[in-house]
Amino acid sequence: MTTDVINPIKPITITKGARQPPVRVKLRRVSANVAKAYPPDGLQKEWWGRLKKALGTRSSAFVDASLHQLYAAARLPCSGICEIAVNAALAMIEAAAPKDEIAAALAVQMACCHTAAMAVLARLGGGHGTERRVVAVATAAARLLRAYSVQVETLRSLQRGPDQIIRIERVDVHDGGQAIVAAVKAS
């Protein structure tokens, strides 16, 4: 008689420089528009800790609220809540590596904006409808994509810190003159 375990949970080993697989959720549908998340591997505490780390927070309430926002926004076209869309959004958020709740909220917005833009672009793909409708859909897609790029730049500036301003002024020093290159305060 053997004591082999079917589908054992193997620990993830990470080599230097390799990224860990993104945190994932499984969804238990309550209705078409409501779902409850649970860990895909059954390890509740470790999974919740990874969600907190992915969202750059120590707050369970923030993680719960962010998941609800993702359920509401991360859907595939013509469908209800989609596990694939939620997991794709979580992967995007984790890749943004937010350091706090402000950056995480921006990353959640980015993931939702990206999903919405792709859904609008999917409607545009067929070019069905009147010319007015096609123009309206194209305009909506352009606005969403512009908003997404602004969000990316905002996140980068949050992570990078404030920009340093270097002011260069022209200073002419003639023969026999002296110049000081520094901020001078009169006493």
Q: Is-contact 71 81, C-beta < 8 A?
A: yes
pTM higher than the cut 0.95: no
Buried b (16+ CB within 10 A) or exposed e, 35-67: bebebeeeeeeebbebbbbbbbbeeeebbeebb
Long-range contacts of 174-177 (CB under 8 A, 24+ apart): none
The predicted structure's pLDDT at residue 55: 95
Helix (H) or strand (E) holding 36: strand 35-38
**Three-point CA angle 71, 66, 86, nearest 5°:** 35
Written as tens digits, the pLDDT of the chain (187 aa) is 555 545 455 555 545 567 788 899 998 888 777 788 889 888 889 999 999 999 999 999 999 999 988 888 877 666 778 888 899 999 999 999 999 999 999 999 999 999 889 888 888 877 677 888 889 999 999 999 999 999 999 999 988 887 777 777 777 788 887 777 777 677 6
Cβ burial, residue 69 (10 Å; 0-12/13-18/19+)? middle
pLDDT reported for residue 164: 75
